[in-house]
Amino acid sequence: MASGESHTWTGIREELLQRIHDRIWQPGELIPHEADLAEEFGCARTTVNRALRDLAESGLVVRKRRAGTRVVLNPPQRATLTIPIIREEVEALGKAYRHSLLIRDQRPLPPMLHGAFQAALSGDVLYLKTLHFADKRPYAFEERYINLQAAPEATKADFTKISANEWLVQNAPYSHGDLSLFAMSADKAAAEKLDTAPGSALFAMERITWAGEQPITHVKLVYAPGYRMRTAL
């Protein structure tokens, strides 16, 4: 560690993280006490404490009062997903993209979403149904609710020209989200929209994005047969 970094908690955290990754400290091993680390790095004990707290919040160490700090036996493996823009997905396949806005209106949030979405019930949400195409073939069917308190400009957006999916990625930054992936059989309505036979196996997802404690949007996407989801780990 460079001497200029030795007094910052972030510099100490990076050094401790490197020791964990290099197996200088093995999984399950008790690491040196805060006082010993503070002496080694030439800093206050509170600075070491802040670095260790950050590692604990990341799930890399476990801290117990009077028992010290240990490297976890099974560190968490996390994947970071970004919300894809469907137009870009389609164009990356070398196909022409377009979308059709089927429904747009403002309505109360349905009771089935009250617990998950937790939008203020004093006002309506924007409800949209959109069908996305790849080379004139149905690609995905989207059903979406937008919290207008979180994204008030959505009331003015022309979702016939830009999909709600793309508009929200560009205009409604999110801090975190919840994502569910599942398989489903095509009912009559889904089969008609996606030009497939009833009972066909379909890939679907439901996603909620948040800005702090305020929900932005709830969306359900159902993809035509043959869809593959790709992401990086």
Burial class (CB in 10 A: 0-12, 13-18, 19+), 206: middle
Distance separating alpha carbons of residues 141 and 160, to the nearest angstrom? 15
Domain 86-223: what homologous superfamily? Chorismate lyase-like (3.40.1410.10)
The pLDDT value given to residue 196: 97
Distance separating alpha carbons of residues 166 and 174, to the nearest angstrom? 13
Domain 3-71 = CATH 1.10.10.10 = yes
Cβ distance 209 to 177 under 8 Å?
Answer: yes
The pLDDT value given to residue 4: 43
* Average pLDDT per block of 10 residues along the chain, 233 residues long: 59 88 88 93 91 86 88 71 88 96 94 75 86 97 95 95 95 87 96 96 94 89 91 62
Amino acid at 228: R
Residues spanned by CATH 3.40.1410.10 within the chain? 86-223
Residues spanned by CATH 1.10.10.10 within the chain? 3-71
Radius of gyration of the chain (CA): 24
The pLDDT value given to residue 5: 45
Burial class (CB in 10 A: 0-12, 13-18, 19+), 46: exposed
